[in-house]
């Protein structure tokens, strides 16, 4: 799985962003209630995610 593209491991949730606090967060689509959360270890493999920004 470690070679899988980041989007495979993306978790789309309709919850407040703070629910995803342990995860990297990027806005997903046009719905402000929908966040795409990447596990930190998984996100670190997707260096292209850095252009989307990191929320800590």
In whole angstroms, give the CA distance from residue 30 to residue 44: 25
pLDDT at position 23 is 47
CB 33 within 8 A of CB 3: no
CB 35 within 8 A of CB 53: no
For the whole model, what pTM was predicted?
0.15
Reported as a single tens digit per residue, the pLDDT across 36-53 is 444 444 444 444 444 445
Structural domain harbouring 41: 6-52
Q: How many domains does the chain have?
A: 1
Q: Average pLDDT over the chain, rounded to whole?
A: 47
Task: Identify whether 36 is part of a domain.
Answer: yes
Q: How many of the other CB atoms lie within 10 Å of CB of 47?
A: 9
Task: Identify whether 40 is part of a domain.
Answer: yes
């Amino acid at each position: 799985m470690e070679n899988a593209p980041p989007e495979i491991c993306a978790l789309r949730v309709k919850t407040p962003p703070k629910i995803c606090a342990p995860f990297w967060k990027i806005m997903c689509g046009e719905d402000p209630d929908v966040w795409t959360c990447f596990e930190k270890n998984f996100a670190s493999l997707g260096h292209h995610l850095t252009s989307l920004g990191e929320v800590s």
